[in-house]
Structure 1
Amino acid sequence: MTDPLLRLDAVTVRFGARAALDAVSLDAAAHEIVCVLGPSGSGKSTLLRAVAGLQQLDGGRVLLDGADQDGVPAHRRGVGLMFQDHQLFPQRDVGGNVAFGPRMHKMPRDARDRRTAELLDLVGLPGASARPVATLSGGEQQRVALARALAPEPRLLMLDEPLGQLDRSLRERLVVELRRLFGTLGTTVLAVTHDQGEAFALADRVVVMRDGRIERSGTPLEVWQKPGSAFVARFLGFDNITAATVNGAVADTAWGTLPVPAGTPEGEHQLLVRPSGVRLGPPGGGLRCEVVSRTFRGGHVGVLLRPERGPDLEAECVLRETPEEGAVVGAGFAAEDVVVLDRE
């Protein structure tokens, strides 16, 4: 079996008594795109800094291509970095910033100019090479920083909120372009972001962190279909979570009796009901609920329900079938959208 390009082996970083990283172990294969998700303070950015050599370890090892990086300075690790604060060179224009890495790698001038132009076009700043950095908006600075990180074609590219300040349409276009570009270059990517849509669109593997530890890791589809814990489910935006007692094909919950998928283990569990699995109909056709609010979300409408028993529920409806606020409806539940979570 081929060794991973990046390996974290029980990496620990402490700030006083608090463990920002608590014995974290993680592999990234060559050419793999790994996106790390988590709330503020979960350890995402500390993890990047530890890999980059910008944060001293209190325990464990970081290995690149099988070599322990203990004592290896950041500039000798062969990694590309882009952090939230951009850190552009103010004395250089846009082109000088983007071309800095290739120039340090002795790339010929013509090739540097072509690469700079290609990358500026990719990040939405065509023809901006001669612009002074001081004239750039925050979002434009982030685009330049991204182009600069990509320019040397590093073996490992590390990104901290790489698209955070970009407008939505550009962000969505760049995610597609970045995934294509990383595949073309064969670059291994370790990125951290709070944007779930960005991570799930970009990543081959998603890692969710909590309090300095890895809570869940898997392909985007695996994590989305089986969050594992209530923490991960809520972080992904799922709030229909309840304690349940499973008996055969049904579960007793605060919302009443719910169907569960075949093979669900019996006993005490926490259940997640995806909003897509809450089916609305006439008041007599299920759990009686009042429609509290509606939120338009592009392809569907999120409907917040107040049931006659149990906590609030969220459902999803297509626009033409969305009930009015204040309406009384009946809520049924689809077994295929009921997911068993780990007990916490």
Structure 2
Amino acid sequence: MTLLQLEGVSVRFGERADACALDRVDLAVAEHEIVCVLGPSGSGKSTLLRVVAGLQGVSAGRVLLGGADQAAVPVHRRGVGLMFQDHQLFPHRDVGGNVAFGLRMRGGGRGSKQAYEARVAELLELVGLPGARRRAVASLSGGEQQRVALARALAPSPRLLMLDEPLGQLDRGLRERLVVELRGLFSGLGTTVLAVTHDQGEAFALADRVVVMRDGRIAQAGSPLEVWERPASEFVARFLGFENVATAVVAGGAAVTPWGKVAVPDGSPEGERKVLIRPAGVVLSPEGLGCEVVSRTFRGTHVALRLRPEAGPVLEAECGLAGAPSVGDRVAVGFAPAEVVVLPGE
């Protein structure tokens, strides 16, 4: 069942053509679904969250929650939780006081003091901070503050939880650990989540569905696997970090590219197209396109190479740790058809 529905939502700041922060956005989020919105700065990600929360009015279109139009519903009546990148904790309150604030704002925590404190303790246990109720906010690490902010957002049991760059201020190692915990927590609770992030790895680890935005519009939406394996355009491919994209002519199961003739998967669209070759598909071989290794980077499980070919733009490649070539070496490469994607048009 659909919980959140955006129908043709536009947000304009002024009359200029480039002043459209959201441009006719249609988006549906199902109950218990985790949706992550990705995109570069200025693509409209945070504006979308603000519109759903009621913090930003729309120029056109409708926002529906549970099938009800939210146009006349104030922020505090929408039943959504919003957690920001900087956590916005109250330094004068202890951990328990910050979590309790979430209950008070939505009318939660009514009843006995014991029941009230039990709910706070339950939430802190849920986010991995048992016994932290009396701790000062200033004594917490960044990861602990993130957990307190999450407990506060979950306190009133929102029907929709929205996260705006929730892990953006944390170091990468901590982000990677917490995103796994969040995924498990939300799945266990059945929480419906709409999150914004600029970090592809974070989104792909957390989401059931990924939405990529560009210039106020949705460029692609799909499961993490769908978006990764089948980018909808050159923009999406490059945003995901793929650089081996070139114009090609596709016909008869092959693409004529600047790097030569490359086999493409069966059923690929034909004609003049953009073709993506993933780094894993650029394979070192005894013969093929001659290249010079211009850089190599150790990635833990493999070595990432940048190759200057005899023809065409620089290629990114991956190879195993054993026998990886050095900078300045001459190598030959072929292309694995399974790692070639013929991209749709923009």
TM-score by length of 2: 0.92
> What pairs with 1:291-330 in structure 2 (closer than 5 Å)?
291-330=293-332
Asked whether the equivalents of residues 142 and 165 of structure 1 are also in contact (C-alpha less than 8 Å), the reply is: no
Using the TM superposition, give the Cα deviation of residue 266 of structure 1 relative to its aligned residue in structure 2, in angstroms.
2.0
Which amino acid counterpart does residue 298 of structure 2 have in structure 1? F
Report 1:35-184 matches (<5 A): 35-103=36-104, 104-106=107-109, 108-117=112-121, 119-120=123-124, 123=127, 125-136=129-140, 139-184=143-188
Match of 1:15 in 2: 13
* Matched residue type, 1:8: L
Query: What does the per-residue CA deviation read over 1:193-244, in whole Å, with 9 as the maximum and x for residues that have no partner?
Result: 0111111111111000000000000011111110110100011111100100
Per-residue deviation at 1:122? Answer: 5.6
Which residue number corresponds to residue 197 of structure 2? 193
1:243 to 244, 247, 261: 247
- Percent of pairs with identical residues: 71
Query: After alignment, is 247-256 or 84-93 more displaced?
Result: 84-93
Distance 2:82 2:294 in 1: 46
**What secondary structure does 1:286 align onto?**
strand
Per-residue CA distance 1:167-199 (angstroms, 9 max, x = gap): 333322222222222122221100000111111
Amino acid at match of 2:253: A
Judging changes above 3 Å, is the alpha-carbon distance between structure 1 residues 109 and 332 closer, same or farther for their aligned structure 2 residues? Answer: farther
SS in 1 for 2:32: coil
The structural deviation recorded for 1:247 is 1.8
CA distance in structure 2 between the aligned counterparts of 1:269 and 1:123, rounded to whole angstroms: 48
Residue of structure 2 aligned with 1:263, choices 262, 267, 281: 267
Q: Distance in 2 between the 1:299 and 1:111 partners?
A: 50
- Tell me by how many angstroms 1:44 deviates: 0.3
User: In the alignment, is the contact (CA less than 8 A) between 1:123 and 1:174 conserved in 2?
Assistant: no
| Aligned counterpart for 1:212 among listed residues 207, 211, 216 | 216
Which ranges in structure 1 are unaligned for 5 or more consecutive residues?
none
* Cα deviation code 1:259-282 (max 9, x no counterpart): 111122221110000101000134
Distance 2:299 2:121 in 1: 36
Residues 78, 154 of structure 1: 8 Å contact kept: yes
Tell me which amino acid in the other structure corresponds to 1:201: A
Deviation at 1:137, TM superposition (A): 5.3
Shift of 1:143: 3.3
Where 1:149 maps in the other structure, the secondary structure is helix
Tell me, in whole angstroms, the C-alpha distance in 1 between the residues paired with 2:150 and 2:285.
49
Deviation at 1:148, TM superposition (A): 1.4
- 2:234 maps to which residue? 230
| Preserved CA contact (<8 Å) 2:109 2:116 | no
**1:277 to 2:278 alignment:** no
One of 333, 338, 341 as aligned partner of 2:340: 338
Is 1:25 matched with 2:29?
no
Given residue 132 of structure 2, which amino acid in structure 1 is its aligned partner? Answer: A
CA distance in 2, matches of 1:102, 1:190: 21
Q: 1:98/1:6 Cα in 2 relative to 1: closer, same or farther (>3 Å)?
A: same
Report SS of the residue matched to 1:129: coil
Q: CA–CA distance in 2 between the matches of 1:341 and 1:130?
A: 55
Contact 2:249 2:272 in 1 (8 A): yes
User: Which range moves more in the overlay, 172-181 or 24-33?
Assistant: 172-181
Structure 2 unaligned blocks of 5 or more: none
SS of 1:269 mapped into structure 2? strand
TM-score by length of 1: 0.93
Deviation, 1:154, is: 1.1
User: Would the alpha carbon gap of residues 102 and 253 (structure 1) be closer, same or farther in structure 2, given more than 3 Å must change?
Assistant: same
Which stretch of the first structure deviates more once superposed, 176-185 or 64-73? 176-185
8 Å CA contact 2:100–2:120 kept in 1: the answer is: yes
Q: Which amino acid aligns with 1:245?
A: V
Distance (Å, rounded) in 2 between the aligned partners of 1:186 and 1:340: 37
Conserved? CA contact 2:85–2:167, under 8 Å = no
Paired residues, what number? Answer: 340
Distance (whole Å) between structure 1 residues aligned to residue 252 and residue 193 of structure 2: 44
Report the Cα distance in structure 1 between the residues aligned to 2:118 and 2:175, rounded to whole angstroms: 24
CA distance in 1, matches of 2:249, 2:59: 43
The Cα shift of 1:119 comes to: 4.4
Q: CA deviation at 1:117?
A: 4.1
